[in-house]
């Protein structure tokens, strides 16, 4: 093959790889979250009584106040040493919460209490196999960062699942307290979703959780 042709092929391969690894965040800005409102919500026992899975969502948007409080309740920082509202094995803090919304994909940054843009694309339909995932205005995607867990693979899988469950239950309770709809989802094409999200090898989708107003 001619050197010129080889060069053209090489350039095409490099540009196509680069576009795969750097998803566009054009038009997206970081979303600064409000401080948690520690006075809001029902009594814990009442929220426990009302906790349930709901699979029917209105497309009505969640406002910034609700988003801010959900994320803090889920896995926000609640102590000066950086520990969280939900426990994590060995305090690895390996679970990252991604947010799939109509305006794009974001990731929760608890230290700054903000949402950082990841991808200017609505990927809600890929966050679960059931139809309602595309209706919910917010889909939380729990992603484990195995590079933070110095242990064997079996333990990485086990503890990232348990740690996700604690976060999810906080979201369930917040939703019960606010009259919001939610359901935790394991029925997810996780590898496909990870590819769409452009996750790295050491990141794994554990579960997803749509949230919205009940329909
Ligand atoms: C790990 C896990 C995975 C789940 N995956 C799904 C799912 O993919 N789709 C779904 O509709 N519900 C899913 N659920 C919700 C359960 O079906 C639900 O919790 C159960 O039916 C009990 O209902 P309740 O949550 O209202 O008490 C899951 C629950 C757990 C704990």
**Pair of tokens at residue 208:** 């997803």
Q: Are 197 and 132 in contact (CB under 8 A)?
A: no
List, in order, residues 6 or more apart from 209 with CB less than 8 Å away: 139, 140, 142, 168, 171, 182, 183, 184, 185
Task: Check which CATH number belongs to the domain holding 57 and give it.
Answer: 3.40.109.10
Q: Rounded to a whole number, what is the distance in angstroms from the first to the last CA of the chain?
A: 61
**Residue 100 alpha carbon to ligand 1 centre in Å:** 20
Instruction: Quote the pLDDT of residue 23.
Output: 80
**Strands ordered across the beta sheet of 104-109:** 31-32, 114-119, 104-109, 95-101, 138-145, 203-212, 181-182
Range(s) of the domain holding residue 109: 24-212
Query: What does the pLDDT read at residue 17?
Result: 47
* Closest residue to atom 29 of ligand 1, CA basis: 184
Q: Is there a domain that residue 185 lies in?
A: yes
For the record, the structure tokens of 65 come out as 């106040």
Best probe residue, ligand 1, of 186, 205, 207, 208 (max atoms within 8 Å of C-beta): 186
Which DSSP state fits 85? S
Task: Please indicate, yes or no, if residue 3 is contained in any of the structural domains.
Answer: no
Smallest CA separation from ligand 1 atom 17, residue: 53
How many independent structural domains does the chain possess? 1
User: Which residues neighbour 136 within 8 Å (Cβ) at sequence distance 6 or greater?
Assistant: 57, 124, 181, 210, 211, 212
Total length of the chain? 215
Give the CA-trace dihedral at 155, 161, 164, 170, to 10 degrees: -120
- Establish if 90 belongs to a structural domain: yes
Residue 5 belongs to some domain of the structure: no
- Tell me if 162 is assigned to some domain: yes
DSSP 117-163: EEESS--GGGS-SSGGGGTSSEEEEEEEEGGG--S-HHHHHHHHHHH
| CA–CA distances in Å: residue 190 to residues 34, 72, 102, 204 | 31, 25, 20, 8
Mutate-to-test residue for ligand 1 from 175, 184, 211, highest number of ligand atoms within 8 A of CB? 184
Per-residue pLDDT of the chain (215 residues; tens, 9 = 90+): 566 556 555 555 555 544 455 689 999 999 999 999 999 999 999 999 999 999 999 999 999 999 999 999 999 999 999 999 999 999 999 999 999 999 999 999 999 999 999 999 999 999 999 999 999 999 999 999 999 999 999 999 999 999 999 999 999 999 999 999 999 999 999 999 999 999 999 999 999 999 999 99
Strands in the chain per DSSP E: 31-32, 95-101, 104-109, 114-119, 138-145, 181-182, 203-212
pLDDT for 2: 61
Residue 19: the pLDDT is 44
Atom of ligand 1 nearest to the CA of 187: 8
**Any domain includes 6:** no
């Amino acid at each position: 093959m001619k050197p010129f042709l080889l060069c053209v092929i090489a350039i095409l391969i490099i540009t196509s790889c680069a576009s795969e690894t750097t998803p566009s965040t054009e038009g997206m800005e970081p979303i600064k979250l409000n401080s948690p409102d520690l006075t809001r919500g029902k009594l814990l026992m009442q929220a426990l009584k009302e906790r349930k899975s709901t699979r029917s969502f209105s497309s009505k948007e969640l406002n910034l106040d609700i988003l801010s409080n959900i994320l803090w309740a889920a896995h926000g920082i609640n102590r000066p040493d950086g520990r969280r509202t939900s426990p994590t094995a060995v305090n690895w803090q390996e679970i990252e919460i991604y947010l799939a919304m109509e305006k794009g994909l974001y990731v929760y940054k608890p230290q700054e209490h903000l949402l950082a843009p990841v991808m200017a694309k609505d990927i809600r339909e890929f966050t679960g196999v059931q139809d309602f995932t595309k209706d919910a205005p917010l889909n939380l995607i729990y992603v484990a960062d195995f590079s933070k867990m110095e242990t064997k693979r079996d333990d990485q899988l086990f503890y990232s699942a348990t740690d996700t469950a604690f976060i999810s239950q906080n979201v369930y309770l917040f939703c019960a307290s606010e009259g919001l709809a939610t359901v935790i989802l394991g029925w997810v094409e996780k590898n496909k979703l990870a590819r769409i999200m452009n996750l790295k090898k050491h990141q794994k989708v554990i579960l997803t959780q749509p949230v919205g107003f009940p329909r």
